[in-house]
A and B are shown apart, each in its own frame.
Chain A
Amino acid sequence: MIRILKQIFRTGIVTEPLPTEIDSEITEVGTKLEDAIRKRFRRSLTIRQVDSGSCNGCELEIHAINNPIYNCERFGIHFTASPRFADMLLVTGPVTRNMEIALRRTYNSTPSPKLVVAVGDCGCSGGIFGESYASLGSIDKVIPVDVFIAGCPPTPAALLHGILRAVGNK
């Protein structure tokens, strides 16, 4: 136990302000966005992540925004296990034929107003997998999308920025 506490104190708080290029944009809209989360979502934005066919690269970066360095909880963002509690679906793609039905069901289980954010080049356009017998391509081919976050995979900073953008939009 002592070792654990020591390690915790030694580590301190490692959460960083966002990188400057993104940070400046955030300061611009920053207060407004925090306001939005506060008012619209009562200080907390709850996200359900759905992998509708990704290569898992995008998921790794979504994990990263939960790490202590990006610490998305400071913006009141947290991830939930059930779409029924979610304000936002964070969907990675391309939507496979085998996931299409599950994705539609998840979307239908999410209460309004549901925000949908498509993540990654695959989520935005189908990426390298494109459209085929097995892949339907971008997320918006299957459910309505509010914001697209490009990148293969998008960096954690880009993800945070995109999520905040989606909140600001509505």
Chain B
Amino acid sequence: MSVLIDAITPVLGAEFRRDEGLHPSSIPSCIVSREKFAETAKAMKSVHALLAAEWASDETLFGRGFGIYACYRWGAEYLIIKTEAPFDDPTFPSLTKRFLPAYRFERQIHSLMGVTPAGHPDLRPWIKFEDWPEDAWPLRKSFDASKPMPRVFGEYKFVRAEGEGVYEIPVGPVHAGIIEPGHFRFQAVGEDILNLEERLGYVHKGIEKKFELLSWQEGSRLAGRVSGDTTVAHSLGYCMALETMTGCSVPERAQWLRALFLERERIANHLGDLGAICNDAAFAFMLYQMSRLREIMLRTNHKLFGHRFIMDRIIPGGVAADIDADGKELILKELKKLLKEFNKLVTIYDENSSLEDRVRDTGILIPDKAREICAVGIVARASGLNLDCRMQNPFPPYDRIELNVPVLISGDVHARAWVRVEEVRESIRIIRRILETLPSGEILTEAGIPAPDTSGFSAVEGWRGEIVYWLQAGPNSEINRCMVRDPSSVNWLGLEQAVLGNIVPDFPLCNKSFNQSYSGHDL
């Protein structure tokens, strides 16, 4: 029984049409008329589904117009609902009224694909900057992506607040630290933040368009560079989507090694984040200690797998690095030391009252808001949402390892830090289990090439949260579209909510506790 399909059946009645293009049909998918597109959203809302992603695809090469897709999630279930818009009438009904994250998804569709969400409250460009020619829609097939675009005059209209004592603080794009660029516009009274508006898109490299120029094999390298800190999870997401299209069954050993890489990436990033969060609360001690532990892990990665971040080691059909008995030994020894030291540091974190003062009750994202923005990953789990693809859409070995997913409800900086603490411990446990029971055998098989006009979907739990990939093969079996949805695409909305009412000096701390990707968002 599927909750999602049951919910839309009464809305669609006889109109219900399964989309056979999604192969294999592990994720149900259906096509509806434009009129019904918003109605199905209403039905989804009524069963408390979340909107995982919304995107458009230029399907003119198939002799169709634009395909607009909305992907909903309810627990472990996903459902993709597609509608079509003819080329000469590129509009579709907006879902923003029902689902908040559609607000940015649709601005992005409008800016980059030139398809208009009718009824959307705010169609300022997103990722596209005001100095792009208005009719530059890079995701359209007719767009020549190889040429630089001329700059035109234009101005981005920020939301304004007025009144006595209200002032504005613009920050970025070049920030004070060693971090990615983005712009934040604060309206404040005294020290209190009245409103924060994010303005992202500075690191837009044209990644989604670039995919269309690459072979399926090369695609995994590009996916590994969507967000460098999540290179393992992104290449895994891409490969899994591709493998569902070709029906490739990845050798068991390769799947376990993929999980090993994924967990190592999670630990390394969480260690870095915990140090950085404490550092932003003026507790530099923790930054140095945590970055030392992180460095130990990266060196082991380099030694065993040939890359500090295990980049390019997950490839279509399997993995490109194996582990032997000595390697296992090395990891087990490393983890033993790591866990011992980590636990000592966590005690120090826990007992430090001046730190507690900064991290507790700061930057609260209440569970209702988290649900409203359809938050994912660490941010969701710190705000009461029990979401983890490793548990809900497990691939081996996660289907065999029972997983403790930490969920907190306070939604503050501390909760987001503490979810990480628990996850580091859990990942260490998982890695031990993987190494104990790693099956033997091949690590790579032929991935194959997808058939024309098929599509594939995957959802992988990276260290930030759920990463969604959707691939579509063109008429000549080339990549027609690669949709990437990094967790940051939704979680950035959470930061805007969480900082309200906080003081401006706490912003860096709140931001660190979210630590969302700019590159993964801007693409």
B residues adjacent to A (C-beta < 8 A): 129, 136, 138, 143-149, 173-174, 176-181, 201-207, 209-210, 221-222, 225-229, 231, 272, 285, 288-289, 291-292, 294-295, 298, 302, 308-309, 311, 344-345, 347-348, 351, 517-519, 522
Contacts and interface: CB of A to CB of B under 8 A. Distances in A.
30 contacts: A3-B344, A3-B347, A7-B348, A51-B178, A51-B179, A54-B228, A55-B225, A56-B227, A56-B229, A57-B228, A57-B311, A59-B178, A67-B288, A67-B291, A67-B292, A81-B176, A82-B176, A94-B205, A96-B202, A97-B129, A97-B149, A98-B129, A98-B204, A98-B522, A102-B202, A128-B221, A128-B222, A129-B206, A129-B210, A132-B205
B289 A11 contact: yes
- Most central of B179, B226, B228 by chain A CB within 10 Å: B228
Interface in A45-66: 49-64, 66
B211 to A, nearest CB: 11
Nearest to A100: B151
Interface stretch (A27-35, A36-44, A133-141): A133-141
B202 A152 contact: no
Given A8-B285, A133-B136, A128 B146 contact: no
- Most central of A63, A66, A133 by chain B CB within 10 Å: A133
A3 B351 contact: yes
B209 A53 contact: no
Contacts of B222: 128
Nearest to B144: A133
B38 to A, nearest CB: 32
A2 to B, nearest CB: 10
A124 B442 CA distance: 37
Interface in A112-168: 127-136, 152-153, 155
B228 A58 contact: yes
Contacts of A14: 292
B344 A68 contact: no
A62 B272 CA distance: 13
Contacts of B351: 3
B518 A56 contact: yes
Interface in A63-106: 63-64, 66-70, 79, 81-83, 94, 96-99, 102, 106
